[in-house]
């Protein structure tokens, strides 16, 4: 194995790629070769560095810790000459965010434990040798040479690994059902159709450590007796799809996929299938229909996929994070894995921490970590010193939990009992200025739009709920709307065909349970306490605070603001569309919301 004096991580975030990251990487390799530095400086890809929307393309150089931003292929020769030949930082491209970047990519924070994320940013995801150098495919070798399929299943059962796709069903039990199912041909599927708004856990693993998923799938295929596998990945993840295909080809080239893997009698191969972005295809039977080439619609269960799935054959389906756990469990043992988490929820979980929290991003914590620890100790608390109001876990089908639940341990049972779900790992934090009625409306709009329309409760029921929520947010709510919402939610939960419909009312149910005062204010007082709903607020320029700078008037899209320079301006509420741009651009905080 080669030893390098420097390692360069090139950000391959989609925004960076759009701005020329691939060209920067190619030119960097060319310059290092030209100057005979290719044996001293290693160039790797990283899924994300810094803030690509403002800085990309960018690179991070280890062990120096230098972070260079806004690079172009033309700037690379100067960068190589200054940094790697003359040994000095190139000031015009150096970032002031170095401390933040180092913190993000170095050791995990105190209450984090990285198992799934341990290789991301440390290996080249498009070079199988990097993965093998960190004990990659060692677990597969152990399984194929030392263990029977039944023994593998027992190890996964003993580890108490639960599916990380949302439902939390015991992985070993799922594998056992597929193993015992009658059928001469069996399939293994990876659900990488990550559709929750703001969630990117699967994407980071696929882009940064694809072989961990592939190895987990091969082990799973051996356990259940599958000969063919599919990774169903959304087409909106082009880098993940490209990286996966390269990884699969590399694994096949060295005999880790295909016929007689590692010289044994076991044969298994993989293929990537792309989804068109339908949220419902995250449901496993809809996903199966999509792989088969049919419309992505859920099927009635039973029969379950373990008995009759892909092309009516026994099929095992787990998500990205579930498979990535498997090699670690085989390598390090059941006791090691079971030492993390709670009695019923073992191991770690990745979360996409988003919303009104100081440090957003991807984290990994042991199951059982409290919401307070995640939001305040890891996330840095609420932005701009505002008050915490609620956190929504589990994506569009999750519930919104108020501050009384901050000390709640995050595991499958506890979140379920509180009226929310684990989901695949989305976690959205909301501050005091969030309208919970509007939040319920937002998530219902998403799930209603994503409904496949196959069953009436979901297709029609979610539309009726959305109409009521829109009416309430528009200041036209009626007293009978509250019992009507409750009845509709109950019917949809009980009668919908699949998990999407059954979970769709959760944001409404939870906000009505914990924030009923906001619903009542909207309906009976025609007031939005958070001052968010446009139909229930007005903007006013305060006399004595306005300097007459005219910035608000010049930025108003409908010319609703008038006034002379250096004089207090006035907003015509009849023209104002309540977009809030005036308040955003006012440097003197002279605009109040009533």
The confidence score (pLDDT) of residue 1 equals 43
Tokens read off for 31:
């310059």
The confidence score (pLDDT) of residue 12 equals 81
User: For 419-435, how does the pLDDT look when each residue is reduced to its tens digit (9 = 90+)?
Assistant: 898 888 889 999 999 99
The confidence score (pLDDT) of residue 4 equals 73
The confidence score (pLDDT) of residue 390 equals 95
pLDDT band of 52, cuts 50, 70, 90: very low
User: For 163-183, how does the pLDDT look when each residue is reduced to its tens digit (9 = 90+)?
Assistant: 998 778 999 999 999 999 998
Peptide bond into 303 cis (omega under 30): yes
Among 536, 327, 559, smallest CA distance to 438 is for 536
Quickly count: other Cβ atoms within 10 Å of residue 435's Cβ. Answer: 24
Mean pLDDT of 462-488: 95
Mean pLDDT of 124-130: 90
Tokens read off for 443:
């998530």
Give yes or no for a contact between 389 and 366, defined as CB atoms under 8 angstroms apart: no
Q: Is the pLDDT of residue 99 over 80?
A: no
The confidence score (pLDDT) of residue 146 equals 96
Please name the residue that has the structure tokens 């399939």. 187
List the domains of the chain with CATH numbers. Answer: 6-105 (3.40.30.10), 128-337 (3.40.50.11540), 348-431 (3.10.20.600), 436-524 (1.20.1440.230), 538-593 (3.30.70.20)
Residues 192, 408: Cα–Cα separation, whole Å: 29
Mean pLDDT of 182-188: 94
pLDDT band of 98, cuts 50, 70, 90: very low
Residues 213, 220: Cα–Cα separation, whole Å: 10
Residue 46 burial (CB < 10 Å; 0-12/13-18/19+)?
buried
The confidence score (pLDDT) of residue 220 equals 98
Mean pLDDT of the chain: 90
Residue 380 burial (CB < 10 Å; 0-12/13-18/19+)?
middle
Q: Is 37 left (phi over 0), alpha (psi -120 to 50) or beta?
A: alpha
pLDDT band of 198, cuts 50, 70, 90: confident
Q: Is the pLDDT of residue 106 over 80?
A: no
User: For 540-586, how does the pLDDT look when each residue is reduced to its tens digit (9 = 90+)?
Assistant: 999 889 999 999 999 999 999 999 999 999 999 899 999 989 988 99
The H-or-E segment that residue 468 falls in is: helix 456-473
The confidence score (pLDDT) of residue 594 equals 87
């Amino acid at each position: 194995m080669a030893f390098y004096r420097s390692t360069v991580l090139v950000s391959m975030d989609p925004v960076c790629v759009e701005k020329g990251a691939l060209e920067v990487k190619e030119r960097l390799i060319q310059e290092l070769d030209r100057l005979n530095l290719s044996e001293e400086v290693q160039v790797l890809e990283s899924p994300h560095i810094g803030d690509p929307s403002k800085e990309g393309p960018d690179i991070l150089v280890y062990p120096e810790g230098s972070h260079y931003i806004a690079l172009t292929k033309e700037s690379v020769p100067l960068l190589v000459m200054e940094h790697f030949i003359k040994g000095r930082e190139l000031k015009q491209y150096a970032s002031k965010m170095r401390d933040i970047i180092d913190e993000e990519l170095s050791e995990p924070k105190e209450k984090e434990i990285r198992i799934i994320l341990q290789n991301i940013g440390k290996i080249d995801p498009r070079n199988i040798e990097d993965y093998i150098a960190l004990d990659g495919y060692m677990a597969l070798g152990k399984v194929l040479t030392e263990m029977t399929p039944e023994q593998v299943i027992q190890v996964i059962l003993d580890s108490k690994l639960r599916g990380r796709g949302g439902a939390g069903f015991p992985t070993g039990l799922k594998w056992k059902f597929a193993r015992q199912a009658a059928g001469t041909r069996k399939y293994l599927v990876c659900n990488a159709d990550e559709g929750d708004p703001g969630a990117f856990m699967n994407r980071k693993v696929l882009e940064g450590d694809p072989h961990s998923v592939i190895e987990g799938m091969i082990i799973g295929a051996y356990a259940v007796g599958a000969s063919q596998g599919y990774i169903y990945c959304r087409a909106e993840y082009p880098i993940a799809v490209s990286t996966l295909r390269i990884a699969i080809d590399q694994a096949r080239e060295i005999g880790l996929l295909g016929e007689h893997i590692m010289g044994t009698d076991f044969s298994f191969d993989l293929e990537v299938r792309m989804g068109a972005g339908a949220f419902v295809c995250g449901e496993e039977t809809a996903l199966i229909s999509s792989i088969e080439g049919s419309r992505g619609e859920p099927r009635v269960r039973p029969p379950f996929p373990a008995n009759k799935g892909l092309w009516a054959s026994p099929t095992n389906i787990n998500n990205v994070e579930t498979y990535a756990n498997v090699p670690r469990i085989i390598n390090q043992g059941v006791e090691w894995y079971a030492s993390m988490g709670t009695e019923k929820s073992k191991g770690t979980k990745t979360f996409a921490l988003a919303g009104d929290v100081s440090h957003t991003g991807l984290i990994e914590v042991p199951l059982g970590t409290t919401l307070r620890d995640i939001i305040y100790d890891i996330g840095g608390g609420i932005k701009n010193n505002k008050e915490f109001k609620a956190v929504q876990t589990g994506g569009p089908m999750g519930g919104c939990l108020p501050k009384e639940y901050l000390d709640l341990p995050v595991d499958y049972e506890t979140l379920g009992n509180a009226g929310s779900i684990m989901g695949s790992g989305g976690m959205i934090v909301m501050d005091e200025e969030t309208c919970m009625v509007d939040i319920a409306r937002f998530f219902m709009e998403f799930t209603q739009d994503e409904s496949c329309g196959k069953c009436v409760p979901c297709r029609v029921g979610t539309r009726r709920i959305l109409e009521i929520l829109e009416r309430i947010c528009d200041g036209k709510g009626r007293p009978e709307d509250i019992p009507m919402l409750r009845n509709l939610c109950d019917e949809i939960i009980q009668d919908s065909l699949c998990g999407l419909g059954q979970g769709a009312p959760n944001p409404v149910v939870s906000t009505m349970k914990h924030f009923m005062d906001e619903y009542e204010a909207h309906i009976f007082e025609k007031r939005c306490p958070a001052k968010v709903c446009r139909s229930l607020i007005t903007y006013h320029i305060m006399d004595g605070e306005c300097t007459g700078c005219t910035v608000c008037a010049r930025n108003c899209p409908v010319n609703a603001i008038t006034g002379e320079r250096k004089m207090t301006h006035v907003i015509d509420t009849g023209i104002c569309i309540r977009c809030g741009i005036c308040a955003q651009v006012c440097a003197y905080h002279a605009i109040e919301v009533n």
